[in-house]
């Protein structure tokens, strides 16, 4: 794990991690609004900067290239910005450098969802997720649990089963405020 940086907790970016389609973007936008912070979705930022959709980047430049620009953007955001809410693409956190920079500079929040709840979302998201294409349900399930092991390295977690985005965002905000108060109380 990377060295713990000395950024005050209240100024740290809040990074949302979790499997594809758990609601990182929707919930992240709500959290940002509630905390009066800017929101950055890493995938949207990559699409904007490269003028290409994520599926097109995968198809035309390959996954390795995507992982490189994804990693570079996250390292840049984590080391050079503060007070943001940042949602990562579901595969980003698998890269060790990404995990290290997030854990050392930010507060990492895992949006957890059970496999039973998640698999109902699969038909809604499969078309623009190159990583899910041509996989059987069993293979997707395997990927879900493999990645869950990696997501288990986090600072805080919220189980979003049966929670609407507004409620999930409220839980995250409460948990963050509690962390701030306990570790860096206002005089
Ligand atoms: C990916 C997840 C996607 C996107 C890309 C790869 C992954 O983001 O970054 O398609 O490997 O899990 P979401 O988690 O926002 O779907």
22 is known to lie in a ligand binding site: yes
Burial 43-61 (b: 16+ CB within 10 A, else e): bebbeeeeeeebeebbeee
Residue 28 in contact with ligand 1 by CB distance below 6 A: no
Q: Whose CA is nearest to atom 16 of ligand 1?
A: 20
Kindly report, residue by residue over 43-96, the tens digit of the pLDDT.
999 999 999 999 999 999 999 999 999 999 999 999 999 999 999 999 999 999
Residue 43 is labelled as binding a ligand = yes
Query: Domain for residue 2, yes or no?
Result: no
- In ligand 1, which atom is closest to the CA atom of 55? 10
Contacts 24+ apart (CB under 8 A), 140-144: 141/115, 144/19, 144/115, 144/118
Give the per-residue pLDDT at 164: 97
CA of 184 to the centre of ligand 1 (A): 34
Ligand 1 and 54: CB distance under 6 A: yes
| 14 found inside a domain | yes
Quote the ligand 1 centre to 91 CA distance (angstroms). 6
20 C-alpha to ligand 1 centroid (Å): 5
The reply to whether 4 falls in a domain is: no
Is 179 annotated in a binding site? The answer is: no
Specify the pLDDT at position 187. 66
Residue 16, pLDDT score: 98
Is 167 annotated in a binding site? The answer is no
Q: Is residue 144 part of a domain?
A: yes
Q: CA 129, CA 58: separation in Å to the nearest integer? A: 10
Query: Does residue 52 lie in a domain region?
Result: yes
Q: Report the number of distinct structural domains present in the chain.
A: 1
Ligand 1 midpoint to CA 21 (Å): 8
* Structural domain contains residue 16: yes
Q: In this predicted structure, what is the pLDDT of residue 2?
A: 44
Q: Is residue 98 marked as binding?
A: no
Q: Is the CB of 20 under 6 A from ligand 1?
A: yes
- What is the Cα–Cα distance from 41 to 35, expressed in whole angstroms? 16
- What pLDDT score was predicted for residue 186? 83
Model confidence pLDDT, tens digit, residues 55-66: 999 999 999 999
Give first-to-last CA distance, the chain, whole Å. 32
Q: Say which CATH number the domain at 174 has.
A: 3.40.50.300
Per the domain annotation, does 164 fall within a domain?
A: yes
**DSSP string computed for 78-119:** HHH--SEEEEPPTTGGGSHHHHHHHHHHSEEEEEE--HHHHH
Residues of the chain below pLDDT 50:
1-2
34 is a domain residue = yes
Domain that includes residue 80, residue range: 9-182
């Amino acid at each position: 794990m990377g060295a713990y940086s000395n950024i005050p907790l209240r100024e740290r970016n809040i990074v949302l991690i979790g499997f594809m389609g758990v609601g990182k973007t929707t919930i992240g936008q709500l959290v940002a609004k509630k905390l009066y912070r800017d929101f950055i979705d890493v995938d949207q930022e990559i699409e904007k900067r490269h003028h290409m959709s994520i599926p097109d980047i995968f198809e035309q430049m390959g996954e390795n290239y995507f992982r490189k620009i994804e990693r570079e953007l996250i390292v840049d955001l984590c080391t050079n910005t503060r007070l943001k809410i940042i949602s990562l693409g579901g595969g980003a956190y698998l890269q060790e450098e990404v995990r290290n920079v997030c854990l050392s500079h930010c507060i990492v929040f895992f949006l957890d969802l059970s496999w039973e709840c998640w698999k109902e979302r699969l038909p809604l998201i499969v078309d623009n997720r190159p990583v899910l294409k041509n996989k059987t349900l069993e293979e997707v399930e395997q990927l879900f649990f493999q990645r869950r092991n990696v997501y288990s390295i986090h600072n805080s977690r919220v189980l979003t089963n049966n929670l609407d985005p507004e409620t999930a965002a409220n839980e995250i905000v409460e948990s963050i405020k509690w962390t701030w108060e306990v570790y860096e109380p206002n005089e």
